A and B are shown apart, each in its own frame.
Chain A
Amino acid sequence: MNNQDQKDSRRDFLKKTTAMAALTISSPVLVKAGQHDEKIASFFEKMDLKIEVNGVAHQLSVEPRVTLLDLLREQLHLTGTKKGCDHGQCGACTVHVDGKRINSCLSLAVMNDGKKVTTIEGIADGDNLHPMQEAFINHDGFQCGYCTPGQIMSAIACVQEGHANSREEIQEFMSGNICRCGAYPHIVDAVMEVKKGGKSS
């Protein structure tokens, strides 16, 4: 937090200097100065971020406008988490932050300072798949596979939240994850199997 306060004040300082310049310098020069400031500001405006992803601690410096989703995909090269809409409307980007499912496209990376993030790459135990991954394969809970990481992260949370007590309840609590290939009935079959703690027919 301390760190962030400092950053905030630096940014304010830059803004103020620009504003002061506006009072004294004629406009063409002002435009130049503005651009210059912007470049400096962008340098200063990176923020420190401590984040644990799939058990690995990262110490990063990121622009505050970078979403958690883009941090994962573009900077950490964890592309298992998918971008389908970037607006919190499809669920393809679902990850767990401190054990809760969120749409990572709706969370700025810097909002997750000090938190533990789990992505699709972090749920298997070596070569042993997570039971939900197994169940999705057994029930063919996908076709193209693009929504699948988000579905699986959502499904694990759905069971943990206690929202998997019937087909209807699973359908309701899995409706934030769109599958355009239409694997829905098979996704519900998979969640049912894991909920029951074993294979279902």
Chain B
Amino acid sequence: MDKNYFFEDTITADEKRVDGVAKVTGAATFSAEHTIPGLTYAVFVCSTIARGTIKNMVLAKAKNAPGVIDIIYYLNCPVVPGYTSEIKEKNQRERVLNGLNVFADNIVYSNGQPIALVIADTWERAVYAASLVKVEYIEEKPETDFDNLMQKAEAPGWGGTYKRGDEDAYKKAEVMIENEYSIPAETHNPIEPHATVAVWEKNDKLVVYDKTQGPKSTQGDLALLFGLKRENIQVITEFVGGAFGCALRTWPHTPAACIAAKKIGRPVKLVLTREQMFTMVGYRPISWQKIGIGASRDGKLTGITHHAISNTSRYEQFSESIVDPSQNLHDCPNVNTSYKTLALDINTPIWMRGPGPATGCFALESALDELAYKLNMDPIELRLKNYAEVHPQNKLPWTSKHLKECYELGREKIGWHNRPSVPGTLKENGMLTGYGMGVGVFWAGRSSATARGTLYADGMFVLQSAISDMGPGTTTAMVSIAAEQMGLPPDKIRFELGNTDFPTGPTQGGSGSTTAVGTAVTLICEAMQVSLKEMAIESVPGFKNYKPEELDYKNGKVSAKTNSSTSISYTDIIKQSGKPELQVSKSTESFAQRDKYAMNSFSAHFVKLHVHPVTGVITLKKIVAVADCGRVISETTARSQMVGGAVGGIGMAMHEETLMDHHSGRYINANLADYHVPVNADIPAIDVLFVNKPDNIISPTGAKGIGEIALVGVAPAVANAVYNATGKRITRLPITPDKLI
């Protein structure tokens, strides 16, 4: 991998992931992997229709199967206190905001909905017994065909509707284009399936090992559902095997496991199957977009109109900020947008990596590319010509914005000068060759967080916060921040997470962990240094006559500014103070200067690819991913995030499509053989470059988010390169060979 940077000041290139050894030895314990005495196994029975009611469930055979302990379904489900306020009249279809109340009634909202839970002494026996449950339905005709039902979409009541300047100004422009874009449902499919192990230690004390991006929010949801105090529920999430958004909320399997464990009085483990990962834990919603863009003949944008529709379920409202990038990514005086959602008889979607902008930027950045050809202008020049120096919507300055540098770095690295200005005219070894680029953007504010730090006399510095790390390397980044702040070697620092007994941390999503928790860690380190000075003055004889401001803290030592021989290590200070340790907790508020600044991370992706002139097969040759993510805290993990985001973006662009049979409302490719995700052989060399200029306004860490901009902008870069190679504008993802022949 390439090692070029714009700025190279604070990167420690040899840095390794702090949980690396646990992950390569199999010692890392994921939610389904804790050894618990008396464990039982639960398996869902799922609906095989998409809409209707359950008339009858025949359970006798299943109940008598070997090893079966209980079967829970709507007729025998114990009272769940949190359900009652939500449940409307039986059989009445009502959207509720808290999602599906599992086993609450006999209504079927989607195919693959959990309708019964079989608990047995082994997993195999539970699986077999679940296969014996027979269900009779009163079936209704499901509505699942997004393309044919779009006219039924409704405004969700918030977000998306926006206007500045004249409406549809693009129609009067000197040069204009108009196009429609479609993106199918994409399923997150982390390799670790969702899993919950529920253990009731007492009647009112629940311990849950759960795959979640937010242990604290899961704790809060369960507290509400089971009518318990938060502190009576402990959620443990030591490792998360990827999530990309699908573990952002509490899905029905988590309460289901808790209900079962309570009913049978034993611990219950419930792990979703791969098929259930498609029907129970969300997906990127299906979307349709229409964009019109107009410009003057010299390339100044005069109008953007962007309409979007995405789907939700019949029982919940789910919306995304799809049209937002058109409002503020590029400078344009006249912009109007609209957004609607369409309720279908499918399970509820959920945010997936780069939610909103990933979808919106596919349309916007494809449209700009199309406009550039019509203007006979270089696509980068077009973007530079319409570069927004201040936020176009509210005219506020950005806390930092280095998108121009992203363009420059990427243009150079990909070899943009080789790009043919006329599509379909460049061949390499008989292959149609094309170059394309796309811009990514995501919100980059800072949420609140609390962390606790403890400095022990043996030299260890332990930090704790109740967040989880689904893979980006939050643990590593926090250790890196603390090591730098305290001047200590990383092996003296441990960051502990994934336990609600620790201080409250944010849910991991929207690229916000590093800035939020990193700020709390920074404050802890600063407070520690003040305390160490005070403790030295108080308990160390040679320091008695100094004032705190006459002392320095550096590399684990407190010294007198004027006399460097008066110096003592932090371990000795703690020992001499007679205390076992020094503990500090710090909270940070969310960054609240929205009236003063606009806050975003930016990226630019560049793609070079080959298209086979006869078969239409695309071979990616090179990807250059450039990020303006503020200061890079941990180079190793930041680089991996950018590579991973590019791979995810390739999946979106070329592979992923959750397909449905509209007669049954059932997914037909709900497995990893038929739902294509990129494999190793699909991935070209990926060069990652960071502008690496700190943003010290959002947080003292200097960082902005990175996880989302790693993916946003990749799909249009691929589509634009395909156009450059072939002259074919593909507006319906994924771009598969059949669309190119």
User: Do B16 and A146 touch across chains, with their CB atoms under 8 A apart?
Assistant: no
Interface presence of B46 (CB below 8 A): no
| A73 closest partner in B (C-beta) | B33
User: Do B643 and A137 touch across chains, with their CB atoms under 8 A apart?
Assistant: no
Interface presence of B30 (CB below 8 A): yes
Interface presence of B75 (CB below 8 A): no
| B683 closest partner in A (C-beta) | A184
User: Do A171 and B644 touch across chains, with their CB atoms under 8 A apart?
Assistant: no
Interface set, chain B 674-692, CB cutoff 8 A to A: 677-681, 683, 685-686
Interface presence of B357 (CB below 8 A): no
User: Do B672 and A89 touch across chains, with their CB atoms under 8 A apart?
Assistant: yes
Decide: A82 near B241, CB < 8 A? Known: A74-B123, A133-B25, A182-B648. yes
Interface presence of A78 (CB below 8 A): yes
Q: Chain A, 52-75, contact with B by CB distance < 8 Å: what is the 0/1 string?
A: 000000000001011000100110
Decide: A143 near B471, CB < 8 A? Known: A120-B25, A148-B24, A152-B24. yes
Decide: A182 near B644, CB < 8 A? Known: A121-B26, A138-B16, A152-B24. yes
User: Do B672 and A146 touch across chains, with their CB atoms under 8 A apart?
Assistant: no
User: Do B190 and A119 touch across chains, with their CB atoms under 8 A apart?
Assistant: no
Cα-based distance from A85 to B275 in the complex (angstroms): 8
- Interface residues in B, total, Cβ within 8 A: 66
Cα-based distance from A181 to B241 in the complex (angstroms): 9
Cα-based distance from A182 to B678 in the complex (angstroms): 8
Interface set, chain B 173-229, CB cutoff 8 A to A: 188-193
User: Do B27 and A80 touch across chains, with their CB atoms under 8 A apart?
Assistant: yes
Q: Which residues of chain A come closer than 8 Å to B189, judged between CB atoms?
A: 180
| B277 closest partner in A (C-beta) | A85
Q: Which residues of chain B come closer than 8 Å to A138, judged between CB atoms?
A: 16
Interface presence of A144 (CB below 8 A): yes
Cα-based distance from A184 to B651 in the complex (angstroms): 13
User: Do A182 and B25 touch across chains, with their CB atoms under 8 A apart?
Assistant: no
Q: Which residues of chain A come closer than 8 Å to B244, judged between CB atoms?
A: 180
User: Do A35 and B64 touch across chains, with their CB atoms under 8 A apart?
Assistant: yes
Q: Which residues of chain A come closer than 8 Å to B646, judged between CB atoms?
A: 182
User: Do B680 and A188 touch across chains, with their CB atoms under 8 A apart?
Assistant: yes
User: Do A145 and B22 touch across chains, with their CB atoms under 8 A apart?
Assistant: yes
User: Do A85 and B680 touch across chains, with their CB atoms under 8 A apart?
Assistant: no
Decide: A119 near B680, CB < 8 A? Known: A143-B242, A179-B191. no
Cα-based distance from A147 to B239 in the complex (angstroms): 13
Decide: A137 near B17, CB < 8 A? Known: A84-B191, A182-B644. yes
User: Do B274 and A144 touch across chains, with their CB atoms under 8 A apart?
Assistant: no
Q: Which residues of chain A come closer than 8 Å to B241, judged between CB atoms?
A: 82, 144-147
Q: Chain B, 10-49, contact with A by CB distance < 8 Å: what is the 0/1 string?
A: 0000001101111111111110110100000000000000
Interface presence of A192 (CB below 8 A): no
User: Do A178 and B25 touch across chains, with their CB atoms under 8 A apart?
Assistant: no
Interface set, chain A 124-155, CB cutoff 8 A to B: 124, 129, 133, 136-138, 140, 142-149, 152
Cα-based distance from A140 to B644 in the complex (angstroms): 12
Q: Chain A, 86-108, contact with B by CB distance < 8 Å: what is the 0/1 string?
A: 11011010000000000000000
| A35 closest partner in B (C-beta) | B64
Cα-based distance from A73 to B241 in the complex (angstroms): 16
Q: Chain B, 642-654, contact with A by CB distance < 8 Å: what is the 0/1 string?
A: 0111111000000
Give how many A-B residue pairs fall within 8 Å (CB-CB). Answer: 185
Q: Which residues of chain B come closer than 8 Å to A189, judged between CB atoms?
A: 1
Cα-based distance from A80 to B133 in the complex (angstroms): 33
Interface presence of B641 (CB below 8 A): yes
**Distance (whole angstroms) from the CB of A148 to the closest CB of chain B:** 5
Interface presence of A174 (CB below 8 A): yes
Binds A, one of B148-156, B255-263, B440-448, B632-640: B632-640
Cα-based distance from A152 to B471 in the complex (angstroms): 17
Main secondary structure of the interface of A (DSSP, over half): loop
Cα-based distance from A80 to B33 in the complex (angstroms): 9
User: Do A137 and B24 touch across chains, with their CB atoms under 8 A apart?
Assistant: yes
| B34 closest partner in A (C-beta) | A79
- Other-chain residue from B64, B239, B647 in contact with A182 (beta carbon distance below 8 A): B647
**Distance (whole angstroms) from the CB of B464 to the closest CB of chain A:** 21
Q: Which residues of chain A come closer than 8 Å to B239, judged between CB atoms?
A: 144-146
Q: Which residues of chain B come closer than 8 Å to A119, judged between CB atoms?
A: 26
Interface presence of A172 (CB below 8 A): yes
- Other-chain residue from A82, A83, A133, A184 in contact with B680 (beta carbon distance below 8 A): A184
Cα-based distance from A113 to B313 in the complex (angstroms): 49
Q: Which residues of chain B come closer than 8 Å to A83, judged between CB atoms?
A: 193, 271
User: Do A84 and B683 touch across chains, with their CB atoms under 8 A apart?
Assistant: no
Interface presence of A185 (CB below 8 A): yes
Interface presence of B614 (CB below 8 A): no
| A138 closest partner in B (C-beta) | B16
Cα-based distance from A178 to B637 in the complex (angstroms): 19
| B16 closest partner in A (C-beta) | A137
User: Do A143 and B683 touch across chains, with their CB atoms under 8 A apart?
Assistant: no
Q: Which residues of chain A come closer than 8 Å to B686, judged between CB atoms?
A: 185
User: Do A42 and B680 touch across chains, with their CB atoms under 8 A apart?
Assistant: no
Interface presence of A38 (CB below 8 A): yes
User: Do B193 and A183 touch across chains, with their CB atoms under 8 A apart?
Assistant: no
Cα-based distance from A73 to B123 in the complex (angstroms): 11
Q: Which residues of chain B come closer than 8 Å to A187, judged between CB atoms?
A: 680
Decide: A182 near B645, CB < 8 A? Known: A124-B25, A142-B23, A145-B239. yes
User: Do A181 and B672 touch across chains, with their CB atoms under 8 A apart?
Assistant: no
Cα-based distance from A46 to B69 in the complex (angstroms): 20
**Distance (whole angstroms) from the CB of B615 to the closest CB of chain A:** 19
Interface presence of A196 (CB below 8 A): no
Interface presence of A166 (CB below 8 A): no
A-B contact pairs, 8 of them (CB 8 A): A74-B123, A84-B274, A172-B680, A180-B190, A182-B644, A184-B647, A184-B678, A186-B643
Which residues of B line the A interface, CB within 8 A? 1, 16-17, 19-30, 32-33, 35, 64-67, 122-124, 128, 188-193, 239-242, 244, 271, 273-274, 470-473, 636-637, 639-641, 643-648, 671-673, 677-681, 683, 685-686
